[in-house]
Structure 1
């Protein structure tokens, strides 16, 4: 296929019974989100909305909404095959004489597919809007959540070029539509686009920008991948490697940038670094919370090109699990060999959906010496975007890192609070609403590996002296039902593996500290190692909901502490009276009226009952 693209992938999914079509009119204002969210959370099919109110173009959602569809989109049988593919490439042999070198040829042929291929004509430029013809309202950009500041482009492939080196970058940054020809550009401080904009500012230049919507699904994935800074390796190269052929690009019509020849839409324009930034947001983000309004650069759209009959691909982010969980898992598999090359004792790692990519990393290691868990965790904190990780749990090599029940059992059995937990500081994702500062906060390492004698008998610090002195092998978890009451506690439960979960309606400063002290002193704390305090909107009996809330709402240095023999996790909201100066954001909740309408229309839309 000369131009593998979204529409060819849609046809493949439809032939396999994994794509539905909704022909009734549907609103791009919240309604498409509600339908698509239900389908993704229940492992349902992708869906095409053929009749979007106010637009001539259909919307497709959930193309990579399952692990299997993501693997299919990336051209592998299973996502684990991505690791094998990269491992084969980096395992080049330099010995064995001529025959040994010839054995590298198939691998080198794969590497030669990396540079993109320039073409003169492209489907993405069949229709052109210029100047006053540009009207972004004609494109069915979605308003995803009730408190969103407006409609947002959620699957954009944003292309820029370094003003000094000419090096190309593609990233996926949300874009709020501000007018018929402008959008926000959500370039955070750590992003490459921000560096390119700053260089343009110092040169007194505008920064040319192109935004592709659609293209080969492998390129859409590549725009989300945390690529290492290797010369010549960019998102087009990664997509070419995954596809086994050079990626087709075409020069933009009004910008000096290469754009995907097989995209559905291309927005061309510029960002002026001399302009004042504009207020963007709120936005229901991948954390499951709203990110609050902030200022970002303004993107001016001077031209739009598209196919003759384009489809608008979009995704939604929000309370996990969402489609982005499978893109994150693809990156896990793809970059596992590179992580193992740098930190050889790593067996596997996983970023579970409840951790929304950066809040929790579970890593299994082949342990050979004391302190190795901390060595690995600190090494991970230094690897690219892994610097944003908030909590790292290290387990033995036999533990399946994606079995979270097993992981949390290992934590209570093998990690003594205070002795085997360590807090530190570092960069934090700027979307983290709970950190001590913007993009900066606490981190937690939990060593849940089998302990060496040196790790059990080492001298204790004053903090460790408070910790439970029994060895993990003698720890006997016990769950009780006769639990104490406390101000603001709405629900609570204890789990058989040593966790005490509490949901709290917090109304005053210091309430969680007082609760932790009272509960730690109570007889019900016997056989418990972790006290998890979540907010009033959490289901205490749903572990995924509990951990999602806790991990979002903690700065480990401030909110995780040893209280008697318990490790207390304060996942309740933080108050101004406690020195928290930023506004605390709400969790994302869909409007009841939209939920009710989708319930009424489900059968009218022709959607199967099992995914309602």
Structure 2
């Protein structure tokens, strides 16, 4: 199903009970975030806030819609599929073109090639997004209900922007989703990270002595909003408009900007037009409560100067929030995961499935299942994945056999404990990291970890054992580990809580106050009789709930550089997920976890029945 614009999608959601209207005055300063965070974590509906107070206390002329793709089902609906797995089936059908069989074989491709025709966008002369135009002194971004999402944020941030640029030399078009901090009436930051296409376009403009024209669309068909987040491979002619067109089965309507030579979505709600000057000094941007669940600290980024704002009459401002998982972006990540599975299987056909669980915030953890055929097969696949596009940012890759569902994380971690012997079946390497990774040894460069949790062949065990002996040596069939009660576990300075799990994991929350404190704890704990049978010791900060495995893994994966922080002590793999101190050679500031202000939490709690919103989504 194609949606002419965001309003038609919202109307469908409202008819299905998946969008609620809130007419009670609500502030764009933190309050909307607190409400939206509760709803997405409870699987609640999208919300249209009809009466939004701006940062200065005045009322906005624009309503705010948030959480449009805040569940798996709404994301599938937005993309026109019955379920997200259908994305993989459609792409597999498209790329499975037959090149043999004579004329009959070629003719069998025609229906698929007709689908490919829809990849090209369609230029139109008029569009709703240019019904209202602000120019010159009319341009004032502070009139938009841009959210301040988290207490330590450097200001309000546009969180759902579709940022459009083109290569100054080739005309190659790109659309990406890069957060934008409001820095004035006509200026924002432009968070183009070093690996992003926008950065490459800006560098070319600098070399040519030109400004780089930029357009930022807000809203449009939800398929296009998704497409801006998708890690598209570098295929000529394939861009985000093309992906949205393919998903919709029709060419996407675009219109020329009024002050920039760029195509913009004709059915968007709002478009910001302007430029980035590569000769201009960069501005301090941030902090920002990011999708990692931690703040990214202030850094220098380019400035975007707005020359015009166009919009439809009765425009709605669309937004999202990111933070501690699960958030709305988890479902967009899952959509990309499904969409690009067939492409990964073209390169690595032994892959049966893969998953980027929410605790890994997209790049920290990949679970991949394979049809194993030979010794070392798991490492072949993992290293291959590290070389595929944005998979280069993966920090930890866990490889399992294809008899286990990659989405069953409890079963995956149980299989890791059973079949992955620390040291023998773990491999440390290094490579590029996401620039938002605060724990890496250097900015955007750090360690990686491969865990081979497949059943081992005799050659992988170092001796020619029988198949049954190999299974026993690998851990299959061993008696379950019996965890100790917390009162039976050793004590150590700074330990606030600890628990052992039946799978052989030991979770510890440590209030770290001196360098190498976690290392000293690990040496003491792994030498203690309570460590017998333990396979993994995970040491997290003291704000981690050791009784919540997702909270533990989220903290550990964010706070570790595997080369520095993951070590084998005896038979135990130790993960040091504590903040690193200057005395340990870590010179960058360590960011805090995102938490909402207590007064905002209390205010939303008190007003929940006034908004009004159903009680079942209150917590």
- When normalised by structure 1's length, the TM-score is 0.98
Q: Which residue of 1 is the match for residue 215 of structure 2?
A: 210
How many Å apart are 1:3 and its aligned residue?
6.3
Cα deviation, 1:493-525, whole Å, max 9, x if unaligned, reads 000001001000000111111111101110000
Match of 1:480 among 474, 484, 491: 484
Work out whether 1:307 is the aligned partner of 2:312.
Answer: yes
8 Å CA contact 1:444, 1:556 repeated in 2: yes
Q: How does 1:20-31 map to 2 (within 5 A)?
A: 20-31=20-31
The 5 Å alignment of 1:324-403 reads: 324-403=329-408
Instruction: Provide the rounded CA distance (Å) in 2 between the counterparts of 1:441 and 1:418.
Output: 19
8 Å Cα contact 2:20/2:47 also seen in 1: yes
CA distance in 1, matches of 2:482, 2:450: 25
How far the C-alpha of 1:99 sits from its partner, in A, is: 2.8
SS, match of residue 324 in structure 2: coil
Structure 1 residue 97: Cα displacement:
3.0
Residue 545 (str. 1) matches residue 548 (str. 2): no
Q: After TM superposition, give the deviation of residue 276 of structure 1 in Å.
A: 0.2
Q: Residues 170-224 of structure 1, C-alpha deviation per residue, up to 9 Å, x if partnerless?
A: 0000000000000000000000000100000011100000000000000000000
1:557 corresponds, among 538, 563, 566, to: 563
Give the alignment's Cα RMSD to 1 decimal: 1.1
Distance 1:120 1:6 in 2: 20
* Aligned residues of 2:274 and 2:306 also touching (Cα < 8 A): yes
**Distance across 2 between alignment mates of 1:510 and 1:2:** 56
Q: Where do 1:129-528 residues align within 5 Å? A: 129-457=134-462, 470-473=473-476, 475-476=478-479, 477-481=481-485, 482-528=488-534
Partner Cα distance (1:168, 1:100) in 2? 34
Structure 1 residue runs of 4+, over 3 Å off? Answer: none
**Aligned equivalent of 1:573:** 579
Q: Is the 8 A contact 1:207 1:271 kept in 2?
A: yes
* TM-score, normalised with respect to structure 2: 0.96
Which of residues 124, 128, 132 is equivalent to 1:123? 128
* 1:220-250 deviations in Å (ceiling 9; x for gaps): 0000000000000000000000000000000
* Cα distance, 1:480 vs structure 2: 1.1
**Does 1:610 find its partner at 2:616?**
yes
Contact 2:181 2:285 in 1 (8 A): yes
* CA distance, structure 1, for counterparts of residue 3 and residue 581 of structure 2: 53
Determine the C-alpha separation between the residues in 2 that align with 1:548 and 1:557.
18
Change (3 A) 1:475 1:418: farther
Alignment: residue pair count: 603
Q: Give CA-to-partner distance per residue, 1:88-140, whole Å, 9 cap, x none.
A: 00011122333332221110100010010000000000000001100001111
Q: 1:374-411: CA deviations, max 9, x gaps?
A: 00000000000000000000000011001000000010
Distance 1:511 1:586 in 2: 19
SS in 2 for 1:394: strand
- What is the deviation of 1:478? 2.4
Structure 2: gaps of 5 or more residues: 54-58, 465-471
For 2:455 and 2:473, the matched residues in 1 are separated by: 14
**Offset from partner CA, 1:328-383 (integer Å, 9 cap, x none):** 00000000000000000000000000000000000000000000000000000000
Asked if structure 1 preserves the Cα contact closer than 8 Å seen for 2:52 and 2:145, the reply is: yes
C-alpha distance in 2, partners of 1:110/1:416?
48
CA distance in 1, matches of 2:116, 2:51: 43
Offset at 1:527? 1.2
SS in 1 for 2:183: strand
Q: Tell me, what secondary structure is at the counterpart of 2:21?
A: strand
Deviation of 1:475 after TM superposition, in Å, equals 4.1
Structure 1: distance between partners of 2:474 and 2:97? 45
Does residue 13 in structure 1 map to residue 17 in structure 2? Answer: no
* 8 Å CA contact 1:157, 1:172 repeated in 2: yes
Query: What secondary structure, in the 3-state scheme, does the structure 1 residue paired with 2:318 have?
Result: strand
Query: Which residue does the alignment assign to 1:62?
Result: 67
Mark the CA change 1:2 to 1:254 in structure 2 (over 3 Å): closer, same or farther: farther
Secondary structure of 1:159 counterpart: strand
Contact 2:420–2:474 (CA<8 Å) still a contact in 1?
no
2:557 and 2:71 map into 1 onto residues whose CA distance is 24
CA distance in 2, matches of 1:58, 1:384: 37
